[in-house]
Amino acid sequence: MIENATPSTPSSSRSELRDLVRDQLRMLLDQNNLEGAKALLVPVQPVDIAEAIEGLPESMQAIAFRLLSKAEAIEVYEHLDISVQQALIQEFKRQEVIDIVDKMSPDDRARLFDELPAKVVRQMLAELSPKERQATALLLGYEEDTAGRIMTPEYISLKENSTVGETLERIRSLAKASELVYYLYVTDNSRYLTGIISLRDLVISPTDLPLSEIVTRDIVSVHTDTDQEEVARTIQRYDLLALPVVDKEQRLVGVVTVDDVIDILEQEATEDIYALGGVQSDGDKYFRTSLFAVARKRVFWLLILLVTNTFTSAIIQQGGQSLEAVTGEAIAIAAFVPLLTGTGGNIGAQSSTVVIRGLNTDEIRDLGPRQVVLREALAGLLLGSSLGVMAMLWAHFLMGQNWFVAIAVGSSLIAIALLASVAGSALPFVFRALDRDPALMSAPFITTAVDVLGVLIYFNIARAVFTL
Amino acid sequence: MIENATPSTPSSSRSELRDLVRDQLRMLLDQNNLEGAKALLVPVQPVDIAEAIEGLPESMQAIAFRLLSKAEAIEVYEHLDISVQQALIQEFKRQEVIDIVDKMSPDDRARLFDELPAKVVRQMLAELSPKERQATALLLGYEEDTAGRIMTPEYISLKENSTVGETLERIRSLAKASELVYYLYVTDNSRYLTGIISLRDLVISPTDLPLSEIVTRDIVSVHTDTDQEEVARTIQRYDLLALPVVDKEQRLVGVVTVDDVIDILEQEATEDIYALGGVQSDGDKYFRTSLFAVARKRVFWLLILLVTNTFTSAIIQQGGQSLEAVTGEAIAIAAFVPLLTGTGGNIGAQSSTVVIRGLNTDEIRDLGPRQVVLREALAGLLLGSSLGVMAMLWAHFLMGQNWFVAIAVGSSLIAIALLASVAGSALPFVFRALDRDPALMSAPFITTAVDVLGVLIYFNIARAVFTL
């Protein structure tokens, strides 16, 4: 069926194709039909081969991997999950490993070395070609999640005193295509970055034009220690395909490319979403970690919330007894606690969601905290008033409560909505001011904080209404 | 201070620079110093100029915009917010508008036309150059959020029977650099896409090599009606800079580039996050919409949850009275309701968060619903048991409850945790099966559903424990 695929395969049928490749590969390997398996993989993209290999039982992974040509093997290896990369290394002969690792791109290699035992890394570093060793050692020297770590130190740099034609000749004479990203960097004798030339401009310009005519002087760059999220946002903002990385002395040391950036933005979004959902995230893939690791990621917030909620329980118990003495309707009053805290929690979760996302995508950079919190407070008041009136009428007419209870419910809802929206919008700013991720101020936390305060407010208002 | 900026400006100081530009621009315009303002903007990137203009009072926006050179004006205009684009159109003379709109890239122009009144669009379309009119009309014919809508119909296509050198000559002779993306497309006489050549391969190959030697046959493409999120995922998966778009007859009609894709992925992540936080999202920017629009976006879920929560209240009120008759401790029992429903809600929110994100990023494509729900159920049981034992001991020893209440609380927590994790993980799959966005099955909804069922479970267990 693979042979019938048209050259232009639309992506919708691609995912079926991927499943097919995985199943067929497994079948062929089960039958020990290595030639068939080899033929099957020829027209398949490296990333899809990597996924097919990941789907195989461990005993078959190395066999399947050995079917690939050397050039293809390196590309596929770069796309494999770190855990499979590690497993394969143990299967391979020493020289096979060195051959592959030597030809990986330096940023992918650095990521792999991060996960390997230090002893293995030292051995491998020693056997890499001097140039690759230097490139990797350079990257490993930078902090994780910085521009220095995700950049590739391979790029083409030029001097300015040549023509378009000469430059094209020079590029052609350089052996390794992988070093050519879509910009060329102009440096002076001290490796200071002085200009950028896009490959596009180079190609469309007359060959006798001096480079200085097409060079861009207004350069956007980042430092080696710039956080990877900021690197991503910069590439996104300026619609770049690659971003130069300079060291403290403003010398060009590497380039970050757009494909790495997409994965970073996606990973950061997942971290935000997990934090909002009260799941700790450390960049691991949730569905590939063990059940106990999963439980550990989740139990932290649950415990904090459990402890906080015992305060709510204590307040209801003690407040309830004294309310019973005053009103004789403690249970009727307590029955509205979930409605009030639930609504308050939801309003707080909404406010914190929009503020956290706004902070992390830079959308509210221009608005000060005061403006944002004020706006959320007004929204909370608006929502609380309309819902409060509704809840009051509901309590009296549909649930048959007397007006005292209904008024206590309605007015508490307004106060709680205001509290929740202020807390939900202000706490992320507080966290940011303390230099922590605003997303840590997650919805579950705000929900629970609103529970405790909400019950206190409600019981006090109820007591006041009944003793009027 | 602008003059002191080094050619290579790291991005951390860039954001200060942007604020500075905005403030200085405003000051210069206030002083009516147009020459100074013009000089200020010369070294600034178009996207930063756009942001500075957006920050000006409306009366100044058109004045600032007129300071730009024609080429720059088009780039800046493309980066402006739709609302500012619309406002500027009303300020401009007819010919000025046509000049700018005619030179915008077709996909940006289509986005602008979407927001303008149909009458204005018809007038503008009529005055565009025939080629641009055709390109725009083409894009406007496709559904929103599809590949057809976000592609640019401008690309370079080649026939295969030429050499690398001839092709480079041909590219150089084409006037418009904007049409050159980083791949060249090879088509046959019926416009079928038969191969792709990367500009990189073209540049590094010997000039006398035939194109057929460097063409890639295994093409990844999408259809015009492919959803934009799938387009983005495809570009991400295969690390592409651009993706060809074909029509139903497999003919090449356009190209989607990576810079559009980053914005799409970001927007989709924001939509997921908003849905999880119970905020309706329609792609508008939350912090730029009016307070009433904001309230409208939020009140929908709040109302649904309010109604659901009244059931919880009714159950507590009626169940509480009958529990009082059986146990004489209705308030002590009711005091634990927030703790139980809160923990259950949080566990459900965690499960739905990881499943929804997993579905939307394709991470759990390989796992069936049954596997995922089973795994979450086990996690829920594990979490519920440990928290349940803790809550039971807490209730008895720290809060002085008798063992009946403590046992009812502990065992209910286990049951509720199981229920919450199953509901939280299964409902997103149900929504997907109904062809709705799994993120609609948001955390607030699950929280509230768990509230109602959780109270029912708890009261029944409590009654059973007390009547043992």
Whether the per-residue pLDDT at A4 is higher than 50: the answer is no
Q: Do A354 and B286 touch (CB under 8 A)?
A: yes
Looking at residue A421, what is its pLDDT?
A: 92
Partner residue opposite A341 with nearest CB, options B314, B338, B367: B338
Q: What interhelical angle do A337-360 and B443-466 show, nearest 10?
A: 150
Separation in Å, CA of A242 to nearest CA in chain B: 11
Q: Do B309 and A342 touch (CB under 8 A)?
A: yes
CATH number at residue B431: 1.10.357.20
Give the pLDDT confidence of B250-259 residue by residue, as tens digits: 888 889 988 8
Give contacts of A326 with chain B, Cβ < 8 Å: none
Residue of B287, B389, B412 to mutate for A, most A C-beta atoms under 10 A: B287
Check whether residue B336 and residue B450 sit in a common domain.
yes
**Cβ burial, residue A1 (10 Å; 0-12/13-18/19+):** exposed
Is the minimum CB–CB distance between A379 and chain B shorter than 8 Å? yes
Is the minimum CB–CB distance between B327 and chain A shorter than 8 Å? no
Check whether residue B373 and residue B349 sit in a common domain.
yes
Residue of B3, B4, B11 to mutate for A, most A C-beta atoms under 10 A: B11
Q: Do B45 and A202 touch (CB under 8 A)?
A: no
Give contacts of A459 with chain B, Cβ < 8 Å: none
Check whether residue B28 and residue B108 sit in a common domain.
yes
Is the minimum CB–CB distance between B412 and chain A shorter than 8 Å? no
**CB neighbours of residue B8 within 10 Å:** 22
Task: State how far the alpha carbon of B409 is from the alpha carbons of A335, B310, B341, B378, in Å.
Answer: 18, 22, 11, 20
Is the minimum CB–CB distance between A366 and chain B shorter than 8 Å? yes
Separation in Å, CA of A393 to nearest CA in chain B: 12
Q: Do A335 and B345 touch (CB under 8 A)?
A: no
Q: How many domains are there within chain A? A: 3
Is the minimum CB–CB distance between B236 and chain A shorter than 8 Å? yes
Whether the per-residue pLDDT at B326 is higher than 90: the answer is no
User: Of A125, A150, A175, which marks where a domain is finished?
Assistant: A150
Q: What DSSP string describes B378-401?
A: HHHHHHHHHHHHHHHHIIIIIS--
Percent pLDDT > 70 in chain B is 91
Looking at residue B59, what is its pLDDT?
A: 82
Across residues A39-67, what is the average pLDDT?
A: 85
CATH number at residue B49: 1.25.60.10
Q: What DSSP string describes A277-332?
A: TT----SS-GGGS-HHHHHHHHHHHHHHHHHHHHHHHHHHHHHHHHHHHHHS-HHH
Q: What DSSP string describes B255-288?
A: EEEHHHHHHHHHHHHHHHHHHHTT----SS-GGG
Give the pLDDT confidence of B229-265 residue by residue, as tens digits: 889 988 988 888 899 999 888 888 889 988 888 888 8
Q: Is B267 part of any domain?
A: no
Q: Do A353 and B277 touch (CB under 8 A)?
A: yes
ipTM exceeding the 0.90 mark: no
Is the minimum CB–CB distance between B26 and chain A shorter than 8 Å? no
Is the minimum CB–CB distance between A394 and chain B shorter than 8 Å? yes
Separation in Å, CA of A137 to nearest CA in chain B: 24
Across residues B204-226, what is the average pLDDT?
A: 88
Whether the per-residue pLDDT at A414 is higher than 90: the answer is yes
Give the pLDDT confidence of B360-400 residue by residue, as tens digits: 776 776 678 888 899 889 999 999 999 999 999 988 888 77
Looking at residue B177, what is its pLDDT?
A: 55
Q: Do A294 and B379 touch (CB under 8 A)?
A: yes
Partner residue opposite A382 with nearest CB, options B200, B295, B350: B295
Separation in Å, CA of B419 to nearest CA in chain A: 16
Q: Which of B308, B325, B351, B327 is nearest to B456 (CA)?
A: B308
Looking at residue B311, what is its pLDDT?
A: 84
Q: What interhelical angle do B337-360 and B258-276 show, nearest 10?
A: 160
pLDDT bucket at A249, cuts 50 / 70 / 90: confident
B157-158, strands of its sheet edge to edge? B157-158, B183-187, B193-198
pLDDT bucket at A240, cuts 50 / 70 / 90: confident
Q: What DSSP string describes B59-81?
A: HHHHHHHHTS-HHHHHHHHHHS-
Is the minimum CB–CB distance between B43 and chain A shorter than 8 Å? yes
Q: Is A45 part of any domain?
A: yes
B432 contacts B406 by C-beta, under 8 angstroms = no
Select the more confidently predicted residue: A362 or A178. Answer: A362
Q: Which residue of A has its CA nearest to B248?
A: A10
**Beta pairing class for B242-246 and B252-257:** antiparallel
Looking at residue A12, what is its pLDDT?
A: 47
Q: Is B270 part of any domain?
A: no
Q: Do B338 and A220 touch (CB under 8 A)?
A: no
CATH number at residue B250: 3.10.580.10
Select the more confidently predicted residue: A456 or A274. Answer: A456
> What's the whole-number average pLDDT of chain A?
82
Whether the per-residue pLDDT at A405 is higher than 70: the answer is yes
Q: Which of B296, B313, B309, B305 is nearest to A383 (CA)?
A: B296
Give the pLDDT confidence of A383-398 residue by residue, as tens digits: 999 999 999 998 888 8
Looking at residue A6, what is its pLDDT?
A: 38
A419 contacts A346 by C-beta, under 8 angstroms = no
Select the more confidently predicted residue: A214 or A114. Answer: A214
Give the pLDDT confidence of A329-381 residue by residue, as tens digits: 788 888 888 889 888 888 888 888 888 888 877 677 667 888 889 989 999 99
Give contacts of B226 with chain A, Cβ < 8 Å: 10-12
Q: What DSSP string describes B407-455?
A: HHHHHHHHHHHHHHHHHHHHHHHHHHHTTS-GGGS-HHHHHHHHHHHHH
Give contacts of B236 with chain A, Cβ < 8 Å: 259, 262-263, 266
Separation in Å, CA of A463 to nearest CA in chain B: 16
Least confident of A180-184, A191-195, A280-284, B306-310: A280-284
Whether the per-residue pLDDT at B219 is higher than 90: the answer is no
Partner residue opposite A11 with nearest CB, options B222, B274, B444: B222
Which of B:75-104 have CB within 8 Å of A? Answer: none
Check whether residue B348 and residue B234 sit in a common domain.
no
Q: Do A367 and B331 touch (CB under 8 A)?
A: no
Which of B:282-301 have CB within 8 Å of A? Answer: 285-287, 291-292, 294-295, 298-299, 301
Farthest CA pair distance, chain A: 97
Q: Is B281 part of any domain?
A: no
Looking at residue A365, what is its pLDDT?
A: 67
Whether the per-residue pLDDT at A160 is higher than 60: the answer is yes
pLDDT bucket at B8, cuts 50 / 70 / 90: very low
- Residue A356's domain comprises 288-466
Give the pLDDT confidence of A83-122 residue by residue, as tens digits: 888 888 777 777 777 777 777 877 788 777 777 777 777 7
Residue of B216, B225, B262 to mutate for A, most A C-beta atoms under 10 A: B262
Element (H, E) at A74: helix A70-79
Q: Which of A442, A254, A280 is nearest to A345 (CA)?
A: A442
Check whether residue B358 and residue B395 sit in a common domain.
yes
For chains A and B, count residue pairs whose Cβ atoms are closer than 8 Å: 414
Give contacts of B171 with chain A, Cβ < 8 Å: 203-204
A73 contacts A100 by C-beta, under 8 angstroms = yes
Q: Is B268 part of any domain?
A: no
Separation in Å, CA of A440 to nearest CA in chain B: 14
Least confident of A41-55, A448-462, B285-299: B285-299
Whether the per-residue pLDDT at B5 is higher than 50: the answer is no
Select the more confidently predicted residue: A435 or A217. Answer: A217
User: Of A150, A175, A198, which marks where a domain is finished?
Assistant: A150
Check whether residue B129 and residue B166 sit in a common domain.
no
Q: Is A273 part of any domain?
A: no
Separation in Å, CA of A94 to nearest CA in chain B: 30
Check whether residue A384 and residue A439 sit in a common domain.
yes
Separation in Å, CA of B28 to nearest CA in chain A: 20
Q: Do B313 and A295 touch (CB under 8 A)?
A: no
Looking at residue B443, what is its pLDDT?
A: 66
Q: What interhelical angle do B443-466 and B337-360 show, nearest 10?
A: 140
Separation in Å, CA of B126 to nearest CA in chain A: 31
Is the minimum CB–CB distance between A353 and chain B shorter than 8 Å? yes
Separation in Å, CA of B309 to nearest CA in chain A: 5
- The rounded distance, in Å, linking the Cα atoms of B356 and B440 is 9
pLDDT bucket at A57, cuts 50 / 70 / 90: confident
B8-10, strands of its sheet edge to edge? A252-257, A242-246, A219-223, B8-10
Cα dihedral B354, B356, A427, A369, rounded to 10, equals 140
Across residues A137-141, what is the average pLDDT?
A: 76
Whether the per-residue pLDDT at A276 is higher than 90: the answer is no
Looking at residue A294, what is its pLDDT?
A: 76
Whether the per-residue pLDDT at B23 is higher than 80: the answer is yes
Check whether residue B194 and residue B343 sit in a common domain.
no
Q: Is A267 part of any domain?
A: no
- The rounded distance, in Å, linking the Cα atoms of A356 and A348 is 12
Is the minimum CB–CB distance between A412 and chain B shorter than 8 Å? no
> What's the whole-number average pLDDT of chain B?
82
Percent pLDDT > 90 in chain B is 10
Check whether residue B235 and residue B119 sit in a common domain.
no
Is the minimum CB–CB distance between A276 and chain B shorter than 8 Å? yes
Phi and psi dihedrals of A361, rounded to 5?
-105, 10
Q: Name the DSSP letter for residue B206.
A: -
Looking at residue A115, what is its pLDDT?
A: 73
Q: Do A262 and B266 touch (CB under 8 A)?
A: no
User: Of B120, B145, B170, which marks where a domain is finished?
Assistant: B145
Across residues B193-214, what is the average pLDDT?
A: 87
Is the minimum CB–CB distance between B389 and chain A shorter than 8 Å? no
Q: Which residue of A has its CA nearest to B193?
A: A8
Check whether residue A237 and residue A201 sit in a common domain.
yes
Q: Is B271 part of any domain?
A: no
Instruction: Classify residue A53 as left (phi > 0), alpha (psi -120 to 50) or beta.
Output: alpha
Whether the per-residue pLDDT at B176 is higher than 70: the answer is no
Give contacts of B213 with chain A, Cβ < 8 Å: none
Check whether residue A398 and residue A302 sit in a common domain.
yes
Q: Do A241 and B353 touch (CB under 8 A)?
A: no
Check whether residue B307 and residue B453 sit in a common domain.
yes
Across residues B448-456, what is the average pLDDT?
A: 86
Is the minimum CB–CB distance between A214 and chain B shorter than 8 Å? no
